[in-house]
Amino acid sequence: MLNRVMLAIAITLLAVSYSGTWALAHVPAASIAVVATQDEDRLAAAEQFAVDLSVLESSGDWYGMAAALHPDAAVITPAEAVSGWFSQVYAAKRAAPIVVTESAEESWLWPVNGRTYDAVAVTYTQEILDGSGATETTGVIHVVDGPDGWGWFFGADRAFLETQIAAFAPEFEPTGIGGLIPPDAAWQADRAARFPDHLHAHVDAFWATRFAELGWTYRSPAATIGFREVTQTPCGEVDPAQETAFYCVIDETIYFSDPFRELVMADVGDFGWVVIVAHEWGHHVQHILGEDFAPSAFRSGHAAPQAIEQQADCLAGAYVDGAELSGWLDPGDVDEATMMTGLAGDPEPRDGTDPLAHGSREERVSAFLSGYHDGMRACDIGE
């Protein structure tokens, strides 16, 4: 939990003070303009996204293209695989921006993860320029919109994506794609319904994947719920002027203050928010693995002892490590996460058994970095 007064003092960009507790994180900002989606011009917005994407392709900005992947694709597609493949294909030629010839809404299945999307199929022509001149080709790209804009999908099937990962991102873990996204479409639909915010869905997908690799049974939190008014939860009444974010053991739900989230995202950044969420998700992981929360520890940030809090910091670090390996992060995101974790340190020393103890800045940063550098095995959980 991060005292909001501390946040306002430590980050001069914040002009408003709060009191309370916390949780934070990120998705790479796309290098292309995000076109606002309106029902009446969805096709036009999809076409513009496809054109903007082709401009990145024409300029050789492969990492910019990777940053514009749909969240479901980004979670299993390292940016190095995208960059490596495009660099190889266009080593001796260049693609011009596309010319859209047609677009249509379409129910489309992406074979890599077996999920069906309400997509827009954008048909286009494109000139390919090389030493002998220009050749015109035709193609179709499927793009899907969401709360944070449009996204595209890299790879026609799993074998292709596995090949690119092996060739250009061999350090990517886990190798292969089998355990990354469960192929069950019903499970995918349930995750999308529970976590319509893809920032939160990304954290859930990471833990589902990690548990599958270890042969453990995972269950998602019931939901992530924001509140703007005084709200009654199974763990008690919460006030957005006092609370920041917490995990409620009783209903396995992460609750957060909408004003606090807006403050963090506006003045710190979206990755600052995701690290908060990842910390609270760490409490959910602790819970489903049987860690001993005290009977009164229904609000994990209020009543759980210091060891529990720092273990959740470690688990948040493990998530950030996985997000980085998958190409999910922008430069500076890890520094931002480390800073936010440090700001959540206790303002004054507390005994480790104090129900309010979370640890000093140095202790919390150390726990976070342990998970970031060494993964989940550094967090001493589930053994």
Give the tens place of pLDDT for each residue, 50-106.
Answer: 999 999 999 999 999 999 999 888 888 899 999 999 999 999 999 999 999 999 998
2 vs 381: which has the higher pLDDT: 381
pLDDT band at 301 (very low <50, low <70, confident <90, very high): very low
Alpha helices per DSSP H over the chain: 4-10, 42-59, 62-67, 71-74, 79-89, 158-168, 185-194, 198-214, 258-267, 270-288, 300-303, 306-325, 333-343, 361-374
CA contacts within 13 A on the Cβ side of 352: 6
pLDDT at 75: 83
Query: What angle, 0 to 180 degrees and rounded to 10, lies between the N-to-C axes of helices 306-325 and 198-214?
Result: 100
CA distances from 59 to 46, 93, 94, 378 (A): 20, 12, 8, 42
292 vs 135: which has the higher pLDDT: 135
CA distances from 184 to 116, 201, 214, 226, 262 (A): 11, 16, 19, 28, 34
Per the structure, the count of domains in the chain is 1
Q: Token pair for residue 127?
A: 């000139």
Report the predicted TM-score, pTM, of the whole model to 2 decimal places.
0.53
Q: Token pair for residue 77?
A: 């597609």
pLDDT at 263: 85
pLDDT at 354: 52
pLDDT band at 356 (very low <50, low <70, confident <90, very high): low
Beta bridge partners, 226, equal 256
pLDDT at 95: 93
Residue 146 belongs to domain spanning: 4-379
Is pLDDT of 218 > 50? yes
Q: Can you tell me the distance from the alpha carbon of 332 to that of 147, in angstroms, rounded to the nearest whole number?
A: 24
Q: Can you tell me the distance from the alpha carbon of 201 to that of 71, in angstroms, rounded to the nearest whole number?
A: 9
pLDDT at 314: 93
pLDDT band at 342 (very low <50, low <70, confident <90, very high): low
- CA 111, 116, 120, 123 torsion: positive or negative? positive
Beta bridge partners, 237, equal 232
Q: Which of 65, 56, 47, 70 is nearest to 123 (CA)?
A: 47
pLDDT at 283: 92
- CA 265, 16, 239, 316 torsion: positive or negative? positive
